[in-house]
Amino acid sequence: MAAISPGPLSTGEGIVFNVRDEYRTWEEDKKTSPGEWKLKDPGVPDKRLIIMDEELAAGLRCSKREGNTLSPALRSFWDSGCVQPLTKSSPTRTTNAHVNIVAHITLEELERTLGEVELFNGFANRFLWVLARRSRLISRPSPMPAEELLKLQAVLLDRLKFAHSAGLMTLDDSAYELWDRVYPSLAMERGGLFGAVVGRSEAQVQRLAMIYALLDREAVIGIKHLEAALAFWNYCEASAAYIFKGRQADPLQEKILAALKASPHPVTATELHRALGNSYSQDQMKKALGSLTSSGIVIHEKEATKTKPRNIFRLNEKTEFFEHISSAGEPSENSDHSPECERRPEEENLPAVLALPEGGAR
């Protein structure tokens, strides 16, 4: 039976320990010389772990500590389910583990902790970001009726049993046709923190489609499963756009964009430098502006003068980034992955929820 932990997330070694492999050592008899493998730790037979972390901010703060392995461990769990922290004192490792994480954090906490951790080195895009709120106020909530809960449990157990024998899963012809159409938009490069957060959209959609197929007791992914996955992903993508509001991973780039947004007209590099308090070197400004212009977020133009042309910069109003920062926090609804899929995260200052529906090798 899968273990369930209330968290909080702390270290990579802590998670590995809860899904660890057995550990044996080779020992020889000093007198007779023959040796044998001796069991030192039986490990955990069931490598499934569900973590329900209500305070993700604490885990993000922990990941800032020097030597903390939480971020690389979670990335490895998502990729393969195999993790072996390289520590001197502990030989603990895990193979083919299946770790699921549902974590909660408010937007205010996210703003405070994002600057303190390396969240965008591949850590964030292994999660699905879901902007959520309660739909209504109920002062006296009633538990789910026992008979309804038993029915749901029976269905899920049946689907789990089927999943164990499903084998290699593929898409049918109609699903492949849709996949070929939506793949370019899923694989499109996006800049800034938003781009870092949605950088694994292709893999996330395929995993979601696989889950929907297994819930239908089908070993082949059909178009309905892919459409359902795209609808889910559309909401997650819109949530990420709302949460990050076009922010950049580089603080200097963020400041440049804020200065360009505040200016009613295009500005020169000198004016930008002055607007930022002359706090950055010419090389730093050149590098940041070069990155922003190459990504298409900022337009670089030459303006004629009486002596020689001067370089001016302005925001590109045709980019996704401009739509995000111009929408006053409202989620973008311009995805065309599937015409039937509508995505509408709430427009209020709501808690952000991180949800990883599946991970590891199983």
The 10s digit of each residue's pLDDT in 125-160 is: 899 999 988 888 999 999 999 999 999 999 999 999
Q: What is the pTM of this model?
A: 0.70
Could you tell me if 231 and 341 are in contact, meaning their C-beta atoms sit under 8 angstroms apart? yes
- Cα distances (Å, whole numbers) of residue 235 to 17, 342, 343, 344, 345: 34, 8, 5, 7, 7
Q: Is residue 88's pLDDT more than 80? A: no
pLDDT at 255: 83
Region 90-113 average pLDDT: 86
pLDDT band at residue 89, thresholds of 50, 70 and 90? Answer: low
pLDDT at residue 54 is higher than 80: yes
With both helix axes pointing from N to C terminus, report the angle between 146-164 and 201-215 in degrees, rounded to the nearest 10: 110
Q: What is the pLDDT of residues 293-303, one digit of tens each?
A: 877 788 888 88
The pLDDT of residue 348 is above 70: no
d(CA 59, CA 236): 22
Residue 119 has a pLDDT of 61
Kindly report which listed range (161-175, 224-238, 319-333, 348-362) carries the lowest average pLDDT score.
348-362
Q: CA of 248: how far to CAs of 21, 235, 257, in Å? A: 40, 21, 9
Please, are residues 240 and 201 in contact by the beta-carbon 8 Å criterion? Answer: no
Per-residue DSSP letters for 176-228?
Answer: HHHHHHHHHHHH----HHHHHHTTTHHHHHHHHHHHHHHHTT-SEE-HHHHHH
Q: Which amino acid is at 115?
A: G
Predicted local distance difference test score (pLDDT) of residue 243: 83
